[in-house]
Structure 1
Amino acid sequence: MADMETRRERITNLVTVTLVTVLIWIWAAGETREEITSFTDLRFSGQTRDSVRISPEELPSVSFLIRGPRREVDAIAARFRDAVEIPIGTLGVPSTPGEHEIDLVTLGQSFIDANEIPVTVLAADPQTVRISIESLQRRRIPVVVELPDGVQTTDAVDVAPGEVELLLPASLADLPGLSVTARVADADVADLPSGRRHELEVSLVLPDRLTGQSDAIRMTPRKARVGLDLVSTDASIVVPSIPVQVSGPPADLDRHVVTIDPASVFLRDVTLRGPKAAIDDIAGGRANVIAFIHLTSDDLANRLEETRISMWRLPAGVEVSSIGEKPDTSPTISITIEDRPRQP
């Protein structure tokens, strides 16, 4: 019996020693100091919603070289798998408007210290970054309606809402005379019958002075409803090329050869506007459009070298709005005038 108890005690002691050894080994392994490089995304934010604009707002894949006990290093590496949110005014990041240079080693160490993890940040890549902080303000501005050329309406054109709210940088908030435009496009009214009331939902457009800052501005709402009573609507079309021809006194033209400069033989990207039926005829090839230069007897006799488009062959009610990006509908055409060889 005594031998059995002695044997049991030996086994118990052996198991105890083994467990203690394993625990010591696990503890020692966890306390072994290691260096690893860990990656995370940093995101800056204001302390209150819509109070500031921060640029850049996010820094993707910032690397940190960290050293510490293996267990703690693994813990911070696991934490870095999710993006790190950094409200300005915390962890040493300023909250005042302006340009600021942030030391990411210091920032990373501050974040780790705030989480009470005994790990040291040795380096960061990039080591520093510049951020810009702008205060944001809210401003209400009116909505104005812009109709396509050729659209005729009766009474007033209504728009709802009559104002929108802009959230924009403080540097832009005091600009005078701001308004947004409810821009009705040709396509919005092209198929609408005349003589009736129509309600259209259209997108709102920032004024030209703010278009370069559109990423920094939030508009609420972004659409408006426009109410109008249509009297008539015109449509428009951009014709890729329209030929230029010569007109003049037939007898004089018979005695001369007029050559149009090759660069001017066709007018490019000509915008035409007029009744929808006529525009449809042009689009369908049922009506041809031609531009003319008209030369007088004196022009031919004096060997004129330049003249302007002076006439158009167009369907009834159709007008030329622009040629290319220019509103000039009578461009200058270079020509060469020579005597026509006599027939033998």
Structure 2
Amino acid sequence: MKQKDTGVMLLFVTTLTVIIWLWAAGQTKTEATVTTTVRFKAPEGMTSTVTPSFASVTLTLAGPRSAVNTAKAACANGLDLTVAETDGTVSINDIASRLNALDELKTSGATTVSAEPSAFNVDIQTMVQVEAAVEAVLSNVTVSGDVTVNPATVTLSIPKRIRATLPDAITVQAVVSDSALQQLSPGVVHTRDAAIRLPIPLDVPDVTVSPSRVEVTFKIQSMKEETVIPQVRIILAGPPEDYASYTVELPRKTISNVTVEGDIDIIDGIKSGEYAVFAVIRLASRDMEQLISSKPVTSFLAIGKDGAGHQLDVSVENPDALNVELNIAPVSGAE
């Protein structure tokens, strides 16, 4: 019996010794390094962006071994560091002290002795939310009836400093791609997905838009295309009786490099020679009487073999070429 009591006592002493040893080992002062990600955050409730938004930092931790291990575990998922409530470039100094104040490290019992790097510069921008109207852009098509956009407005997140330079009302564009439009038939109501395109002052990485895509509903009346005509002949149109009293000469009889746009079938006809394109100058009787020396082109027409004319939209390399010089003179002996 005495021998049994001795064995129990020995087991108890051994167990207690191991527990004390483990506790002492855990309380042994030690140092360790750990590399973690520090995320720079705006104060809660603030709509600000911080650049850079994170950085890699190597920390030296000191304290009881168990505390250091707890701190290392807390660093495994990264640490959030709140920055100042201000716009512009901000210096964050003494990173070690700032991290020591975080609950994750403070409750571990370990101390952040040093951090490398020990300081950072970050750029803070306060963001403002703005509602913008959306207008549809349907290139190279003529639409019939109304065009609707759903939703009709989007929300922009804009840096405060940029918003101050913009007008109160902001409009963005919903662009249906050319490839999508080319596959659609005229005379049918279509609904297509469209990407939001920002105006140039807002087309910067700091600006975000929500939603970034909308739906556009429309009916195509006709499809449009364009082509370039090297030389377009100038013709005059006016009251026939005036030509009995006046002569009109054109020192320049053509306009060079004219880009014309119209319905696809008209443009195809121009390319095939079915239609001829003319720059028309309409002269009124008063123009003749005043002997004007120049006049802008009134319209560009594609005239078919049947004599029917179709008005075209045009652009030219030199807009001044659309103002045509005229030599108007009375006919001798005309009343």
Q: Report the TM range for the smaller structure's normalisation.
A: 0.5 to 0.7
Matched, 1:193 2:185: yes
Structure 2 residue corresponding to 1:127, chosen from 93, 96, 118: 118
**Aligned partner of residue 162 in structure 2, secondary structure:** coil
Q: Is it true that 1:35 corresponds to 2:27 in the alignment?
A: no
Residue in 2 that maps onto 1:162? 152
Select which of 219, 222, 230 maps to 2:212.
Answer: 222
Q: Report the counterpart of residue 68 of structure 2 in structure 1.
A: 73
Q: Which residue identity is paired with 2:129?
A: R
Mapped to 2, the partners of 1:210 and 1:43 lie a distance apart of 27
How many pairs were matched up? 249
Deviates more, 1:62-71 or 1:192-201: 192-201
In the alignment, structure 1 residue 18 sits paired with structure 2 residue 18: no
Q: TM-score normalized by structure 1?
A: 0.62
- Name the structure 2 match of 1:111: 102
Distance between the aligned counterparts of 1:47 and 1:279, measured in 2?
60
Gaps of 5+ in 2: 231-258, 273-303, 305-309, 319-335
User: Which residue of 49, 53, 58 maps to 1:53?
Assistant: 49
Q: Which residue number in structure 1 is paired with residue 171 of structure 2?
A: 179
> For residues 13 and 228 of structure 1, do their structure 2 counterparts lie closer, same or farther at Cα, with a shift above 3 Å needed?
closer
Ranges in structure 1 where 5+ consecutive residues have no aligned partner: 238-243, 245-270, 281-285, 288-315, 330-344
- The alpha-carbon deviation at position 66 of structure 1 amounts to 0.9
Q: Distance in 2 between matches of 1:112 and 1:192?
A: 60
Taking a change above 3 Å as real, the CA distance of residues 121 and 15 of structure 1, as seen in their structure-2 partners, is same
CA contact (8 A) 2:156 2:208 kept: yes
Residues 298-337 of structure 1 mapped to structure 2, 5 A cutoff: 328=317
1:34: Cα distance to partner? 1.2
Aligned-pair distance for 1:274? 6.7
Q: Is the 8 A contact 1:100 1:132 kept in 2?
A: yes
The alpha carbon displacement at 1:205 in A equals 0.8
Q: Does 1:97 find its partner at 2:93?
A: no
When structure 1 is superposed on structure 2, of 228-237 and 116-125 the one drifting more is 228-237
Q: 1:83 is aligned with what amino acid? A: G
Per-residue deviation, residues 276-300 of structure 1 (Å, max 9, x unmatched): 57999xxxxx99xxxxxxxxxxxxx
Q: CA deviation at 1:68?
A: 1.0
Structure 1 residue 187 displacement after superposition: 1.3
1:64 is matched with 59
| Deviating 4+ runs (over 3 angstroms) | 46-50, 112-115, 271-280
TM-score, length of structure 2 as denominator length = 0.63
Task: Kindly provide the amino acid, as one letter, of the partner of residue 183 in structure 2.
Answer: D
Q: How large is the Cα RMSD of the aligned pairs?
A: 3.5
How many Å apart are 1:96 and its aligned residue? 3.0
Partners of 1:107 and 1:156 lie apart in 2 by 59
- Give the structure 2 partner of residue 268 of structure 1: none
